[in-house]
């Protein structure tokens, strides 16, 4: 699929906003965001904004997708767990940067639509399931990388448990929508190192 002028403009905008990782920009360039938004928002698909995707949920702003992906420091041989598949857009971006993406979504209808997109795009290294992401994916654990795209009051213990030593989890943390930050947790032998990265606004992780 050839890159549209609108998409090239978005990539240039992300670069100006400080996204310096060429691999992350390359992965974003490979994913046609218009396929992940409802018909009536297609004309805004390459604008740097979050958009509604149904079920009261949103596809994240491209800048936030880029920042969170960059913060994960992915390696091409890694397996990644994502909580909150939503439209599937973030998972599609991750799929170009790692070996396999496991993604969990609580809304069956959103998951079904996302899976259809993965299939249409030939993204065979994405495995998706309906469920409560707070419990993680024990059968596939541990993971070297975990990305949550819904906000929690604190990092769910099961997810911390399922992170490899040396592994990284990126997760929006905050008591409410107006007070959330993306946090990067790195698991050490003796505990977790925590870095607060930037303020964000994500929908809540339900059942938290
Ligand atoms: N990554 C998505 C955007 C995420 S929006 C994209 O690229 O489009 C957050 C998503 O997390 C929503 O779809 C919501 O239904 C889901 N979610 C919220 N709590 C969850 C939970 N406990 N387990 C799994 N999914 C959850």
Distance separating alpha carbons of residues 129 and 140, to the nearest angstrom:
12
Query: Residue 122's closest CA among 181, 19, 35, 16?
Result: 35
**Best CATH choice for the domain 3-199 from the list 3.40.605.10, 3.40.50.2300, 3.40.50.150, 3.40.50.1370:** 3.40.50.150
Which 3-state string (H, E, C) describes 144-204?
EEEEECCEECCCCHHHHHCEEEEEEEEEEEECCCCCEEEEEEEEECCEEEEEEEEEECCCE
Look at the pTM and tell me if it is higher than 0.95: yes
Catalytic machinery residues: 60
* Ligand 1, pocket-test mutation among 81, 101, 150, most atoms within 8 A of CB: 150
* Ligand 1, pocket-test mutation among 35, 63, 86, 103, most atoms within 8 A of CB: 86
Q: What was the pLDDT predicted at 172?
A: 98
Distance separating alpha carbons of residues 171 and 183, to the nearest angstrom:
5
Number of residues assigned to the chain: 208
Q: Whose CA is nearest to atom 14 of ligand 1?
A: 84
Q: What was the pLDDT predicted at 207?
A: 86
Q: What was the pLDDT predicted at 130?
A: 98
Q: What is the pLDDT of residues 172-206, one digit of tens each?
A: 999 888 899 999 999 999 999 999 999 999 999 99
Q: What is the pLDDT of residues 64-82, one digit of tens each?
A: 999 999 999 999 999 999 9
* Ligand 1, pocket-test mutation among 54, 63, 84, 95, most atoms within 8 A of CB: 84
Q: What was the pLDDT predicted at 193?
A: 98
54: three-class secondary structure by DSSP: strand
101 CB near ligand 1 (under 6 Å): no
33 CB near ligand 1 (under 6 Å): no
172 CB near ligand 1 (under 6 Å): no
**CB-CB contact of 31 with 60 (8 Å):** no
Query: Residue 6's closest CA among 64, 55, 46?
Result: 46
**CB-CB contact of 100 with 125 (8 Å):** yes
Between the CA of residue 19 and those of 51, 86, 188, what are the distances in Å? 21, 23, 27
Distance separating alpha carbons of residues 64 and 31, to the nearest angstrom:
15
Helices assigned H by DSSP within 34-77? 62-72
69 CB near ligand 1 (under 6 Å): no
Domain extents for the chain?
Answer: 3-199
Q: What was the pLDDT predicted at 170?
A: 98
117 CB near ligand 1 (under 6 Å): no
Residues of the chain with pLDDT under 50: none
């Amino acid at each position: 699929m050839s890159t549209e002028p609108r998409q090239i403009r978005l990539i240039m905008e992300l670069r100006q906003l400080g996204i310096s990782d060429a691999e992350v920009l390359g992965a974003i360039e490979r994913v046609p965001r218009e396929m992940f938004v409802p018909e009536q928002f297609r004309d805004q698909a390459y604008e740097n904004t979050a958009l509604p995707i149904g079920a009261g949920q949103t596809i994240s702003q491209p800048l936030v997708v880029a920042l969170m992906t960059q913060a994960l420091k992915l390696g091409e041989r890694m397996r990644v767990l994502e909580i909150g598949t939503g439209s599937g857009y973030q998972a599609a971006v991750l799929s170009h940067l790692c070996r396999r993406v496991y993604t969990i979504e609580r809304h069956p209808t959103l998951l079904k639509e996302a899976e259809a997109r993965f299939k249409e795009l030939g993204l065979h290294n994405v495995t998706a399931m309906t469920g409560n992401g707070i419990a993680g994916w024990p059968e596939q654990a541990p993971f070297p990388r975990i990305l949550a795209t819904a906000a929690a009051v604190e990092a769910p213990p099961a997810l911390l448990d399922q992170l490899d030593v040396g592994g990284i989890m990126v997760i929006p943390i905050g008591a409410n929508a107006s007070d959330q930050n993306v946090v990067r947790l790195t698991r050490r032998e003796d505990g977790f190192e925590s870095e607060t990265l930037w303020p964000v606004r994500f929908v809540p992780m339900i059942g938290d």
